[in-house]
Amino acid sequence: MKNDYEIRDDVTVIFVKCKKRILETFIDTKDLDKARSFSNTWYAHFNQKTNSFYIRGIKLSKEQRDVFIYIVGFGI
């Protein structure tokens, strides 16, 4: 993972870009190794249909595919 992050006890904050601002997404610290195993950058994507943000990273291989995890919380 190329994003900055901050461990706050049982919760880890991952800082993700969304256009010209930085959002915070929260994961359980026990899941940090899973997020860090992603070799690229996580970023925020706003979905107009659900009126919510998703955290998304793109994993490139022979075929391009998106890897999604749902944003649990964010701060602006």
Quickly state the pLDDT bin for 64 (edges 50, 70, 90): low
Does 71 score more than 70 pLDDT?
no
Instruction: Give 25: exposed, middle or buried? Use CB within 10 Å, 0-12, 13-18, 19+.
Output: buried
Q: Which amino acid is at 52?
A: S
Six-digit token pair at 29?
């610290």
Q: What is the pLDDT of residues 7-51, one digit of tens each?
A: 999 999 999 988 889 999 889 999 899 889 888 889 888 888 888
3-state helix, strand, coil in the chain (%, to 5): 10, 50, 40
Give this prediction's pTM.
Answer: 0.75
Kindly list the domain boundaries of the chain, sorted by start residue. Answer: 5-70
